A and B are shown apart, each in its own frame.
Chain A
Amino acid sequence: MSNKLISMQEAVAKYTWEGMTFAHGGALPVGSDCIAFFREMVRQGVKGINCISNCNSHGTNLLAAAGGIARMEVGFSGLEVYGFANGLRRAVESGKTILEDYSNGGIPIRVMGGALGWPFVPTFINYGCDQAWCSADDPDNYPNEKKIPEVTDPFTGKKIGVFKSIQPDVAVIHVTMADEKGNAIMLGTEWSRFELSRAAKKVVLQADYIVDTDCMRQFPNLVRIPDLVVDAVVYWPMGVWPACSTGIYDSDEEHFYAMNKMLKTEEGTEEYIEKYVKGYNTNEEFQEVIGKDKIEKLTNTATAFLMDPYRKWIKSDAEVKELMERR
């Protein structure tokens, strides 16, 4: 099938289920994660998710606060300058979410191993420290010798640690622009999105823009995610809000703090979900929830010039709608 556009609701219904291994991002807390996809997961009441997270984001912070994350393997669990992630922190401190710690390089290396089809990858990182010796899955065992086992380098005889590779069931990846077939361009750092797109069994893209395939033919070197590894494409403008999408909108300082403050308590979380998760059905309504003035302010970004070479291929909302109907 060459047209892979589906709605956000369909994507969450089809590609998430209890007990699955769900990878996302792979971005930093303030960077390009599929936050809108997480909102829809919360809306549909998805539970029992095993997350593979390069980093926590407001997406995982929200899903954890709503009780949806059973287990999380993660490199960084905060919100950078915005502080600690209150929703996730509450879930971990109360024992609702089991958190297995790695580092920001550890998760991408394990995903790369999965992408290459290797069972394990040698490593110095996360080795010789408590990321290796402590396992939340096997707590009675310290120092743990199974989480990052030690092996002997057959060439030198020296010791080195090994990571277990990961092949997630599904990866949901935010991209700046995609065509309807799933070719995608990411502006800004990729973090671990390239290897994630090759490691996961199913790949769903959340895109800020849908562009014509001619755009990909003009910049083929930048298409790091080609259509053949992609299963579905969801068009969702402002989908990273309140974090930033390089070239399109800045991080929303006010909402970032407000959201994290609300996720600190059960009541606040319910209130947040009522207003910012259940408060819309369509993307138009979602943008109304954010507010026209706010969107204008956020899209007035110093990175906007990065989008200039691609603008002529951007499809309008009406054109995307037509493509979805033709599917």
Chain B
Amino acid sequence: MDYTKNEMMAIATGREFKDGEICIFGVGLSMLAGFFAQKNHAPNLIAFTEGGVYGSTPVGGLPWGIEDNRISANATSFTNAIDALCMLVAAGKVDNAVIGAAQIDKYGNVNTTGIWESGAQPWKVGKYMLPKVRLNGSGGANEIAVGAKKYLIMAAHQKKRFTEKVDYISSPGYLNGGNDREKYGFPGGGPSAIITNLGILKPDPVTKEFYLDAYFSFSSVEEILENTGWDLKVSPDVKVVPEPTEQELENLRAVDETGSLRKK
């Protein structure tokens, strides 16, 4: 069957959304995965955006932003960020969500803020060093990380992204692992999976360290280990993720009108 790695990643992410869940999506890949799920197997999935656009689906193509007219043309309610992002997401009323990552560590902590000189962790040596690369910052991902009952992290699987320690924790996962989140009283449960273009990582129930749970038919355990910057543990029951069905691909491509996931 002909499909791209990104399409497999979007479908694997979409499969994690269950019918009837209240979900929040960001722009791009995350929204594609979410609306794919709604079209494919979760017709009663309730989606809204962090600025408070309720009851809508994209019109005329994938939205340029989460306040874009393409997601505002058939809404049933417009509110605001304190309502949607704070009262619903941060306060713990959302079932599932997706965030992206420029860097991610073995406890699911995510950096989307900046990349500093390699290994220097300049914030931590007592001086602010200018970032080598300034990234986008947290956006609404911090609220999801703190408040969603569970959430998924989606990222391209590359050694430079999957690092032992991230340069900056923009969105807290399990921090130093174990019960570390409890120190802060976060309402949400933390990340339930990391879904990449090579496979699926899940957190150990006790240590909260992410291990390799499954790979795709086009990838392998070896390839994933080579592309992970920490000593990734592999589940003794590591399995192959079922390939997309024809129906799944058809539904995904209907949502991805412009073919953004089909570029290889």
Query: Quick check: which of B5-13, B61-69, B232-240, B243-251 contacts chain A, the rest being far away?
Result: B61-69
Q: Is B263 an interface residue (CB 8 A)?
A: no
Residue of A136, A140, A188 near B126 (CB, 8 A) is A140
Determine if A78 and B136 form an interchain contact, defined as CB atoms under 8 angstroms apart: yes
Q: Distance in Å from the Cβ of A174 to the closest Cβ of chain B?
A: 12
Q: Distance in Å from the Cβ of B175 to the closest Cβ of chain A?
A: 7
Q: Distance in Å from the Cβ of A199 to the closest Cβ of chain B?
A: 12
Q: Is B142 an interface residue (CB 8 A)?
A: yes
Q: Distance in Å from the Cβ of A283 to the closest Cβ of chain B?
A: 22
Q: Is B72 an interface residue (CB 8 A)?
A: yes
Q: Is A237 an interface residue (CB 8 A)?
A: no
Q: Is A258 an interface residue (CB 8 A)?
A: no
Residues on A with C-beta less than 8 A from B36 are none
Q: Summarize A's interface: helix, strand, loop or mixed.
A: loop
Residue of A54, A105, A194 near B86 (CB, 8 A) is A105
Determine if B78 and A189 form an interchain contact, defined as CB atoms under 8 angstroms apart: yes
Determine if B80 and A105 form an interchain contact, defined as CB atoms under 8 angstroms apart: no
Q: Distance in Å from the Cβ of A126 to the closest Cβ of chain B?
A: 6
Of residues 87 through 129 on chain B, the ones whose CB sits less than 8 Å from some CB of chain A are 89-90, 109, 113, 123-128
Residues on B with C-beta less than 8 A from A141 are 126
- Which partner residue on chain A sits nearest B180 by CB separation? A128
Determine if A104 and B79 form an interchain contact, defined as CB atoms under 8 angstroms apart: no
Determine if B28 and A188 form an interchain contact, defined as CB atoms under 8 angstroms apart: no
Of residues 186 through 204 on chain B, the ones whose CB sits less than 8 Å from some CB of chain A are 186-187
Determine if A190 and B65 form an interchain contact, defined as CB atoms under 8 angstroms apart: no
Determine if A192 and B81 form an interchain contact, defined as CB atoms under 8 angstroms apart: yes
Of residues 44 through 89 on chain A, the ones whose CB sits less than 8 Å from some CB of chain B are 54-55, 74-78, 80-82, 84, 88-89
Provide the bound-state CA to CA distance between A89 and B132, in Å.
Answer: 10
Determine if B81 and A128 form an interchain contact, defined as CB atoms under 8 angstroms apart: no
Of residues 120 through 139 on chain A, the ones whose CB sits less than 8 Å from some CB of chain B are 124-131, 133-134, 136, 139
Residues on A with C-beta less than 8 A from B241 are none
Of residues 119 through 147 on chain B, the ones whose CB sits less than 8 Å from some CB of chain A are 123-128, 130-143, 145-147
Provide the bound-state CA to CA distance between A133 and B121, in Å.
Answer: 13
Determine if A101 and B78 form an interchain contact, defined as CB atoms under 8 angstroms apart: no
Residue of B62, B183, B184 near A81 (CB, 8 A) is B62
Q: Distance in Å from the Cβ of B102 to the closest Cβ of chain A?
A: 11
Provide the bound-state CA to CA distance between A142 and B121, in Å.
Answer: 11
Residues on A with C-beta less than 8 A from B124 are 142
Interface size on A, residues (CB 8 A): 71
Which of A94, A109, A161 is most buried by chain B, counting CB atoms within 10 A of its CB? A109
Residues on B with C-beta less than 8 A from A187 are 78
Residue of A76, A95, A159, A191 near B130 (CB, 8 A) is A95
Residues on A with C-beta less than 8 A from B184 are 124, 127-128, 159, 161
Residues on A with C-beta less than 8 A from B28 are 81
Provide the bound-state CA to CA distance between A250 and B64, in Å.
Answer: 10
Given A82-B64, A131-B170, A189-B51, A103 and B138 touching (CB < 8 A)? yes
Provide the bound-state CA to CA distance between A139 and B68, in Å.
Answer: 36
Of residues 23 through 59 on chain B, the ones whose CB sits less than 8 Å from some CB of chain A are 27-28, 49-53, 59
Residues on A with C-beta less than 8 A from B183 are 128, 159
Q: Is B205 an interface residue (CB 8 A)?
A: no
- Which partner residue on chain A sits nearest B143 by CB separation? A105
Residues on A with C-beta less than 8 A from B168 are 130, 134
Determine if A193 and B130 form an interchain contact, defined as CB atoms under 8 angstroms apart: no
Query: Quick check: which of A23-31, A201-209, A261-269 contacts chain B, the rest being far away?
Result: A23-31
For A88-111 the 0/1 string (1 means CB < 8 A from B) is 110011110001011111101100
Q: Is A260 an interface residue (CB 8 A)?
A: no
Provide the bound-state CA to CA distance between A124 and B136, in Å.
Answer: 21
Q: Is B85 an interface residue (CB 8 A)?
A: yes
Determine if A303 and B64 form an interchain contact, defined as CB atoms under 8 angstroms apart: no
Residues on A with C-beta less than 8 A from B147 are 124-125
Provide the bound-state CA to CA distance between A117 and B224, in Å.
Answer: 52
Residues on A with C-beta less than 8 A from B133 are 93
Residues on A with C-beta less than 8 A from B131 are 92-93
Residues on B with C-beta less than 8 A from A161 are 184
Given A78-B137, A142-B123, A192-B80, A246 and B185 touching (CB < 8 A)? no
Q: Is B172 an interface residue (CB 8 A)?
A: yes
Residues on B with C-beta less than 8 A from A217 are none
Interface positions of B (Cβ within 8 A of A):
27-28, 49-53, 59-60, 62-70, 72-73, 78-82, 84-86, 89-90, 109, 113, 123-128, 130-143, 145-147, 168-172, 175, 181, 183-187
Sample of 15 further A-B pairs with CB below 8 A, known A78-B139, A105-B140, A125-B143: A28-B51, A31-B65, A82-B64, A84-B134, A93-B133, A101-B170, A124-B184, A127-B184, A130-B170, A131-B142, A142-B125, A188-B69, A189-B52, A189-B81, A192-B82
Interface positions of A (Cβ within 8 A of B):
26-32, 54-55, 74-78, 80-82, 84, 88-89, 92-95, 99, 101-106, 108-109, 112, 124-131, 133-134, 136, 139-142, 158-161, 187-195, 244, 246, 250-251, 253, 256, 301-303
- 7 tightest A-B contacts by CB? A139-B128, A30-B65, A78-B136, A31-B67, A128-B184, A80-B65, A189-B51
